[in-house]
């Protein structure tokens, strides 16, 4: 006689950047075991496993490689909440040197999106460009890479279109190398306009307020980054 097949609950959430409704299931024990190895994995492996996990748990309904970095983080944390638990224990370091044991609720995560930051950048009076949000894999490259040339190239891949007063050049009309060459012709002041977009990208954050039991100080900070959730 065969063993029973266990049913898995499903939930629904909204993809932050697209507002698309998507159903998802918790990840299973076998998937959790793989997840626990990511703390020691390289960038490529982290990206591959997390994207694959989200893809499977959302029933292959999303174009994972097209999702923004904060979409992937938001989806992953919601998966984590329903799969392992909504509460996570963290340590907050107080200025007095004391370590505060604190518990956070993943359900309270939010998207921190700066006002007044546009993806349409006017470089010069007659030249501008439109940027897209970097993918999860591209953001990992930006964080991990110490090679300025590679960072520059990663940014160039996020150019969606380039326009002048008379023409618009869409992404499929130029290569990554041509985009990289275009950026290399900008002045430092012009490139700073593009940097501002990347510096102020939407982020998945959670506000933390923890009172030190030694000195009584109320420590306020923000938690971000998936490395805090690989447990």
Spatial CB neighbours of 35, under 8 Å, sequence gap ≥ 6 = 27, 49, 53, 230
Two structure tokens written together for 106: 């993943």
Residue 158 per-residue DSSP state:
T
Q: What is the DSSP string of 66-112?
A: GSBHHHHHHHHHHHHHHHT-SEEEEEEE-TTSPEEEEEEEGGG-EEE
35 φ, ψ (degrees, to nearest 5): -60, -35
Spatial separation of the C-alpha atoms in residues 79 and 148, rounded to whole Å: 34
CA angle 78, 64, 205 (to 5 degrees): 35
124 φ, ψ (degrees, to nearest 5): -135, 175
pLDDT tens for the chain, 231 residues: list them.
666 666 789 999 999 999 999 999 998 888 878 777 776 777 778 788 889 999 999 999 999 999 999 999 999 999 989 988 899 888 899 999 999 999 989 888 899 988 888 999 999 999 999 999 999 888 887 777 666 777 888 889 999 999 999 999 999 999 999 999 999 999 999 999 999 999 999 999 989 999 999 999 999 988 886 665 554
Asked if residues 24 and 79 have their Cβ atoms less than 8 Å apart, the reply is yes
The confidence score (pLDDT) of residue 39 equals 66
Asked if residues 161 and 129 have their Cβ atoms less than 8 Å apart, the reply is yes
Asked if residues 73 and 17 have their Cβ atoms less than 8 Å apart, the reply is no
The confidence score (pLDDT) of residue 145 equals 64
Q: Which of 112, 106, 8 is nearest to 59 (CA)?
A: 8
The confidence score (pLDDT) of residue 231 equals 45
The confidence score (pLDDT) of residue 138 equals 87
Pairing of strands 203-211, 218-223: antiparallel
Q: Which of 163, 191, 157, 160 is nearest to 176 (CA)?
A: 157
The confidence score (pLDDT) of residue 132 equals 95
Q: Which of 122, 111, 110, 109 is nearest to 196 (CA)?
A: 122
Two structure tokens written together for 63: 């174009």
The confidence score (pLDDT) of residue 97 equals 92
């Amino acid at each position: 006689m065969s063993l029973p097949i266990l049913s898995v609950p499903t939930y629904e959430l909204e993809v932050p950047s697209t507002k698309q409704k998507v159903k998802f299931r918790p990840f299973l024990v076998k998937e959790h075991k793989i997840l626990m190895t990511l703390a020691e994995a390289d960038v490529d492996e982290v990206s591959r496993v997390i994207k694959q996990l989200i893809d499977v748990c959302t029933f292959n309904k999303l174009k994972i490689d097209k999702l923004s970095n904060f979409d992937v983080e938001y989806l992953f944390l919601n998966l984590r909440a329903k799969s392992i638990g909504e509460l996570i224990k963290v340590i907050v370091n107080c200025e007095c040197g004391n370590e505060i044991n604190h518990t956070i609720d993943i359900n309270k995560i939010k998207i921190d999106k700066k006002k007044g930051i546009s993806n349409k950048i006017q470089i010069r009076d007659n030249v501008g460009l439109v940027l897209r949000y970097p993918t999860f894999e591209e953001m990992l490259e930006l964080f991990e890479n110490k090679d300025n040339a590679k960072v520059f190239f990663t940014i160039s891949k996020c150019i969606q279109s380039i326009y002048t007063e008379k023409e618009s050049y869409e992404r499929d009309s130029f290569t990554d190398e041509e985009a990289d060459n275009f950026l290399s012709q900008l002045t430092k002041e012009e490139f700073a306009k593009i940097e501002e977009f990347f510096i102020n990208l939407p982020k998945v954050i959670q506000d933390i307020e923890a009172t030190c039991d030694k000195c009584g100080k109320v420590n306020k900070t923000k938690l971000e980054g998936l490395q805090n959730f690989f447990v």
